[in-house]
Amino acid sequence: MDDGAPPADRPVELLIPAQFSAATHAGPDRSAQVVALSGITMGTTWSVRCAMRAADRQDAVKVGIEAVLADLVAQLSHWEPSSALCRYNAAPAGSWQQLPGDFAEVLDAALRIATATDGALDPTAGPLVDLWGFGPPGPRAQPPSKAEIEAARSRIGWQKLRRDRDRLQQPGGIALDFSAIAKGHAVDCVALWLHSAGLPHHLVEIGGELRGQGVKPDGSPWWVDIDGRAAMEALARIALDGLSVATSGDAYRHFEHGDQRYAHTLDPRSGAPLADAPTAVTVIHPLCREADGWSTALSVLGPDAGLRLADQLGLAVRYVLHDGLRDEERSHIRCSRAWSVLANQENP
């Protein structure tokens, strides 16, 4: 998150949503100040900037945000043994488990993306995440064997899930993992809470996923720089007004064994990390939950299939792809039509 001036030695691509000009006429009181709040959640950091007149509200606002986040951890965390998700994962085969509200929302969103991508995002991929060292059991020094991968794959499959209104059946051995979408949902929940608390002009960030609404007291937007992790790429700077942005890619988390680099992003269909993962895939969407989930799914699909699907669905997507042997000085960018429209490069 960067509201400062863009680097002088890099070209800048500005993305300004159509609704921004309308928002400037309904901005916060000019006497308001931008207040910055922050903390820890979901194994990462959270930060909020909001336009606020009464500085003495800061403590109460932070308490409210932390209450929202604590409730989400209690439902969605695969690291907290007492969470609703972990209780579902440990439930007996054939049993039906009651779904709390946010759990159900996140599951529904993940299953919609799974259906649209034929499982490129799979909320049942918990066994694979753990096997490759990216889950609660901790990191591993070398990749798993083919037999271990096949054993984990036999336990996953979003098609195995059976839902009955607010209940979900545990078919046996299924381990849900919402790590590809939970932080984005948390951003949405914090943003909604801020709005309900009378703070409609804000920027929320959790673990690099962001959502902005309204403007600053001086009428300027919440500018956010999108980090593609490539030194010479054009810098994308977006005015987040009623929009969210999330980025996935192999630059963010991985482990190495021998001369092989294993990306954090797993392909549930093969059971292995992506062999040629994009450097970064960024998605812009009104809901951060959707941006978060789609950035992972489109990383798995790759630029050809991913951009075809993004154009079909009208998703604003930007791929940063490495050339040659992961030379960060030699990357290139491919974008969906909706991204180009947002960047004013072409008309819809």
Q: How many CA atoms lie within 13 A of 62 on its CB side?
A: 13
Q: Write down the domain spans for the chain.
A: 12-51+206-342
Summarised one tens digit per residue, pLDDT across range 205-236 is 999 999 999 999 988 899 998 865 554 556 78
Q: Which residues, in sequence order, are bridge partners of residue 248?
A: 281
Q: CA–CA distance from 251 to each of 209, 277, 293 (Å)?
A: 15, 9, 17
pLDDT tens for 114-170 read 999 999 999 999 999 999 888 888 888 788 999 999 999 999 999 999 999 899 999
Task: State pLDDT tens for residues 331-343.
Answer: 688 999 999 988 8
Q: For residues 132 and 129, give the distance between their C-alpha atoms in angstroms, rounded to a whole number.
A: 5
Q: DSSP for 185-208?
A: HHHHHHHHHHHHTT--SEEEEETT
pLDDT for position 231: 47
pLDDT at 315 over 80: yes
The share of the chain scoring above pLDDT 70, in percent, equals 84
H-run or E-run covering 47 = strand 44-52
The answer to whether the beta carbons of residues 254 and 242 sit under 8 Å apart is no
Domain range 12-51+206-342, CATH architecture? Roll (3.10)
DSSP structure string for 47-102: EEEEEES-GGGHHHHHHHHHHHHHHHHHHH-SS-TTSHHHHHHTSPTT-EEE--HH
> Which residue is it, tokens 């100040």?
33
Distance of alpha carbon 24 from alpha carbon 218, whole angstroms: 9
Nearest residue to 204 (alpha-carbon basis) of 342, 72, 31, 310:
72
Q: What is the pLDDT of residue 336?
A: 96
- Residue 306: band (very low, low, confident or very high) from pLDDT cuts 50, 70, 90: very high
Higher pLDDT, 325 or 298: 298
pLDDT bucket at 5, cuts 50 / 70 / 90? very low
Residue 90 has a pLDDT of: 96
The percent of residues above 90 in pLDDT, for the chain, comes to: 65
18-77 pLDDT, tens per residue?
A: 666 554 546 777 788 999 999 999 989 999 999 998 776 899 999 999 999 999 999 999
Q: What is the mean pLDDT of residues 267-286?
A: 89
Mean of the pLDDT values across residues 177-206?
97
Q: What is the mean pLDDT of residues 5-11?
A: 53
Q: Which of 170-174, 257-261, 331-335 has the highest mean pLDDT?
A: 170-174
| Contacts for 308 with CB less than 8 Å, ≥ 6 apart | none
Instruction: For residue 185, give both structure tokens.
Output: 């949902």
Flag whether pLDDT at 12 surpasses 70: yes
* Least confident residue range of 76-80, 228-232, 268-272: 228-232
Which pLDDT value is given to residue 95?
Answer: 97
